[in-house]
Amino acid sequence: MNIPRLIFTLVVSLLLAFPINAQSIREQDIRAELGFLASDAMQGRGSGTVFERIAAEYIGSQFRQFGLEPGGDTDSAGNKNFVQRVPVESAPSGATWNAIGVLRGSDPREAIMLSAHLDHLGVNDAAPGDDKIFNGADDDASGSVAVIELARALATGKKPRRTIYFVCFGSEERCGAGSRHFIDNPPVPLTQFVADLQFEMLGRPDEKVAAGTLWLTGFERSDLGPVLAKNGAALVADPHPEQHFFQRSDNYPLALRGVIAHTISSFGLHTDYHRASDDVLKIDFPFMTRSLNSLVRPIQWLVDSDFRPAWLPGQAPVRG
Ligand SMILES: [Zn+2]
């Protein structure tokens, strides 16, 4: 092998071994993770149940595989875990369970949060029909998988400037205890969180927006959505303002505390919402893969940029 050729081969191998840009998200990974989380074996991931805990441990094991830092509890031996136990007296397991992974940035002053809720409605023997398991494939296994897959993609890129917290909350469907605990005991002061994107019900396309598109709740409230869209995100305004979705997910308590926090979704008001029929069979995996991939580079840009999103004049939410 001659010298120029050798150098060329070395450069190509190095580029392959150390990719600069985040990897793209693969449909087979989404299918694997969503298929497990929304399987009957997971018994609907009821808020505060042992199945919610298993979901959290599973998500934590994925975060570990991607090389994230654990952001959960420290055990008696001093080992840090990916799962955080939050005591909830009334919960079936006496607690709710968050999964937290951290991709440490080079600038310790600023952080971004990507979040979802990992719990759903569990099993209801009084539900009509034969199917008693509320699998919550769209609500919100789809959002949890979005967070997992964005973690996988962003962890393969170069070290980000801002630290990224990947967080799946427990008990959103019941009392919001998982996110409330996180907000009241944040790993860094809330003022360091430049933005939170919450992922909720994006497993099926919404006919009200263009094909392959997701929407952002409260799009008109801040400059975050428009700037992400300008950077290539297939992201538009929420076409269902009458539903007040901005106020209906875990982004809202954060937004009330000043964090620029929105929810990304494609919920087209399908009738499987909070029914046992919210099943894996109804998930549109090619849609999910395509729309999530449109977010990878814009989010990578956001974590590396100096851009600090802000509420537009008079648009910051206030406790009503
Ligand atoms: Zn939900």
- How do strand 261-265 and strand 214-216 relate by DSSP bridges? antiparallel
Task: Tell me the average pLDDT across 71-87.
Answer: 96
CA distance 58 to 37: 9
* 3-class DSSP assignment, residue 151: helix
Count CB neighbours of 294 within 10 A.
Answer: 18
Q: What is the mean pLDDT of the chain?
A: 94
Residue 133 pLDDT more than 90? yes
Question: DSSP assignment, residue 259?
Answer: -
Give the Å distance between the CA of 173 and the centre of ligand 1. 7
Q: Given this model, what pLDDT does residue 17 score?
A: 55
- Triad 168, 195, 292: Cα angle to 5°: 60
CA distance 11 to 181: 48
Q: Given this model, what pLDDT does residue 157 score?
A: 81
Q: Given this model, what pLDDT does residue 4 score?
A: 77
Give the Å distance between the CA of 121 and the centre of ligand 1. 10
Give the Å distance between the CA of 176 and the centre of ligand 1. 11
Give the Å distance between the CA of 1 and the centre of ligand 1. 58
Give the Å distance between the CA of 79 and the centre of ligand 1. 31
* 3-class DSSP assignment, residue 175: coil
Q: Given this model, what pLDDT does residue 20 score?
A: 55
Q: Given this model, what pLDDT does residue 14 score?
A: 65
For the full predicted model, state whether its pTM sits above 0.75: yes
Give the Å distance between the CA of 145 and the centre of ligand 1. 13
The share of the chain scoring above pLDDT 90, in percent, equals 88
For residue 206 the two structure tokens come to 């919404």
Give the Å distance between the CA of 89 and the centre of ligand 1. 22
Residue 18 pLDDT more than 60? no
CA distance 299 to 302: 5
Q: Given this model, what pLDDT does residue 10 score?
A: 75
For residue 257 the two structure tokens come to 């505390």
* 3-class DSSP assignment, residue 146: helix
The share of the chain scoring above pLDDT 70, in percent, equals 96
Residue 297 pLDDT more than 70? yes
Give the Å distance between the CA of 83 and the centre of ligand 1. 20
Helix axes 285-304, 143-156, angle to 10 degrees: 50
Give the Å distance between the CA of 117 and the centre of ligand 1. 7
Residue 264 pLDDT more than 70? yes
Q: Are 177 and 86 in contact (CB under 8 A)?
A: yes
